[in-house]
Structure 1
Amino acid sequence: MTLPPSAPEDPAAPNSTGLGRLWTLLGTVVAPTTLVTALLYYFGWNHAWWFFNYFGVSSTVLGFSTVDYLMRSLDALFIPMTVTAGGGLLAFWGHDLLRRRLARGAEPRVLRILVPVLACIGAVLALGGFWAVVSPAFFLNRALVLAPLSLALGVALLSYTLHLWRVVLNYRWRDDSSQDPAGPADPEDPADPEDADNPPASPTPTPTPTPPPPPTRPEWATLAEWAIVFSLIGLSLFWAATNYAAAEGETRARRFVAGLPTDPYAILYSADSLSLSAPGVRETRCHDAKAAYRFRYDGLKLVLQSGNQYVFVPERWTPVDGVAVLIPRSDSVRLEFAPPTAGGAQPPHPRC
């Protein structure tokens, strides 16, 4: 089976009419910048929630701004976006290689192999992803992003397999239509001009009719197919990125705790007693009656300052008995920072 030389179009080129129409409709409904900003805000919020949840603090009380959440979303989405872009690039390169081979008129044997193989793989992956949606105890849900990626990859493979199957049908129609409908001539029975008025008794063989071309799909069917495919893939990637953002937020919190001995000390001065009783935190009362800040607290490490809140944790914070301290930012408190000393010892205790 070979491609007829007279075929002007590329049979492996995807039908972009429905896809372009879908993007146009989406652009008129949702502004791309607004959608991207909303997604970044959500993933940044998810990252912040799980980071501070590790310390037992609700991130909603910290007064994060939109810029804060957008900055945190970069940490949550850097690896997922890199992996997705790399996988998409490899997929486009592979499709372009197949398209160029078919455009040169090569036999589509590779399609006969790829179509059933990709269909089986895609069906298994999609079925596993759908099963993970309805069954939280399914083994794919035990991994971080295995279930959503299985669903996304399965749907993508099934969609691409359907495209290849349509290419195979197009090839078959072209091969059938390229055959000579009159049939080959018989060299042993040349035409005799004298017998032109005496036709043979047997009837002339009826030419084989050209098979009709494959039916054209209506535009609404193409739009509906692309919309469903992109919805399933988009929701799966959204699911995967959400799980990754949550895991990355908690991982960052664990790394922060592991690096507490090397972080600078935050020495807190206060005009009034704060009655801090966190493990490892010492309160010292200054005896100078004219001191503006008469209470000093050692053994704290600053996590961050957001809005009007300081978030501190003790130097020896542990998930078992560790506490986080939120101090309102005001003129009644003052901070000093001191570098960590050798051996993890606290800085010298100066007089107030």
Structure 2
Amino acid sequence: MRVRPTRPGEVRRLPSLRAPAAASRPAGTSVLHAVAVVGSPVALATSLMVYYGWVRTRAKAEKLGYDSALLDFSVQDYLLRSVDVLFVPLTLLVLIALGLHWAHQRVVLPTVRHRRLGTALPRVLTGTALLLGLGLVVLTVLRPHIAGTWFPYVLTLALVSALYADVLRRHVGHSRVMAPSLRVLALLALGLTVFWDTERIATAVGEGQANNIAADPDQLVAVTVHSAKRLATNLPGVVETPVTSPGAHAKFRYDGLRLVQRSGNRYFLVGTGWDPAHRRVMLLKETDDLHLEFSR
């Protein structure tokens, strides 16, 4: 290869020895990045499901009269118990989101192209958000027990109205839009209210299951306990019968019990005459002195 001689005063540039950026990056970096991008949302979703399963379990236990810590559930147990909490709300949320997206594309956007409507609709949404917020304040002062029930749902609606009004203003090129920092705070508040809403739903599901049991304990699996020793129980509806058969290991039989929950070798039982005013739950651990029979 011929090398052109340099002229007087000319500086020759040598070829760069720096490797391409892609080549200098470790091979596993892109894989780790992909794992981080996918793994973080999955970990967050799993944590939320465990939490909602725990809230549902705690609400049911408190309503029936025992401490949910006695169950000693695993993470998998709480995950399974969050399914009935999240299935209906998530299904409704997806359907509502699809409907709102269709309305936004087919109805709202063609409407706001008109100058007057493009100005009026964001104002209506902003006014709605302000009225909802003011109504929450007034209701909290006058009727705190009612406000406590509806507070997260109404606050969610107010934040959605305010944020959607800002979206429409940006679409029509309006100069008065939310500052980026304010928009971030509003989105953060919306995420917290959705979390709060779902927690309320989980509590309602747990309490609803407990109320269903209290209304008709006979719907649960019937349990007959055979015990070598007398059990100290005064559950309403439970009948103790001494066993007089010679050579029988069990000396007492207990009828009128219903299975509320099983966790490992522990059984949570109520009597057929369970009284919400005097909530009593029997906890039995499976031992050699106990024999349990289940029937429908």
- The TM-score with structure 1 as length reference comes to 0.66
Instruction: Please identify the structure whose Cα radius of gyration is greater.
Output: 1
Distance in 2, matches of 1:254 and 1:55, equals: 8
Which residue of 1 is the match for residue 85 of structure 2? 76
Which residue of 2 is the match for residue 9 of structure 1? none
Which residue of 2 is the match for residue 310 of structure 1? 267
Query: What is the identity, as a one-letter code, of the residue corresponding to 1:154?
Result: A
Between structures 1 and 2, the one with greater helix share: 2
Which residue of 1 is the match for residue 66 of structure 2? 57
Following TM superposition, by how much is the alpha carbon of 1:77 offset from its aligned partner in structure 2, in angstroms? 2.3
Query: What is the identity, as a one-letter code, of the residue corresponding to 2:173?
Result: L
**What is the aligned counterpart of 2:247 among 264, 273, 290?**
290
Structure 1 residues 140 and 278: CA distance shift in structure 2, 3 A: closer
Distance in 2, matches of 1:120 and 1:334, equals: 66
**What is the aligned counterpart of 1:93 among 81, 84, 102?**
102
Task: For residue 331 of structure 1, give the secondary structure of its aligned residue in structure 2.
Answer: coil
Deviation track 1:16-75 (CA, whole Å, cap 9, x = no partner) reads xxxxxxxx9xx7698111111111111111111111111210111111121221122122
Unaligned runs of 5+ in 2: 1-32
Alignment RMSD (CA, Å): 3.0
Does residue 1:165 correspond to 2:122, yes or no? no
Task: For residue 283 of structure 1, give the secondary structure of its aligned residue in structure 2.
Answer: strand
* Paired residues, number: 262
Does residue 1:112 correspond to 2:116, yes or no? no
Distance in 1, matches of 2:279 and 2:232, equals: 16
Query: What is the identity, as a one-letter code, of the residue corresponding to 2:274?
Result: W
Distance in 1, matches of 2:115 and 2:41, equals: 39
Structure 1 residues 279 and 100: CA distance shift in structure 2, 3 A: closer
Does residue 1:234 correspond to 2:191, yes or no? yes
Task: For residue 31 of structure 1, give the secondary structure of its aligned residue in structure 2.
Answer: helix
Task: Say whether the 8 Å CA contact 2:140–2:147 is kept in structure 1.
Answer: no
Deviation track 1:190-223 (CA, whole Å, cap 9, x = no partner) reads xxxxxxxxxxxxxxxxxxxxxxxx79x9xxx64x
Which residue of 2 is the match for residue 192 of structure 1? none
Following TM superposition, by how much is the alpha carbon of 1:113 offset from its aligned partner in structure 2, in angstroms? 2.2
- After TM superposition, the runs of 4+ consecutive aligned structure 1 residues lying more than 6 A away are none
Query: What is the identity, as a one-letter code, of the residue corresponding to 1:117?
Result: V
Following TM superposition, by how much is the alpha carbon of 1:305 offset from its aligned partner in structure 2, in angstroms? 0.9
**What is the aligned counterpart of 1:259 among 200, 211, 216?**
216
Does residue 1:47 correspond to 2:61, yes or no? no
Following TM superposition, by how much is the alpha carbon of 1:289 offset from its aligned partner in structure 2, in angstroms? 4.2
Provide the identity percentage. 31
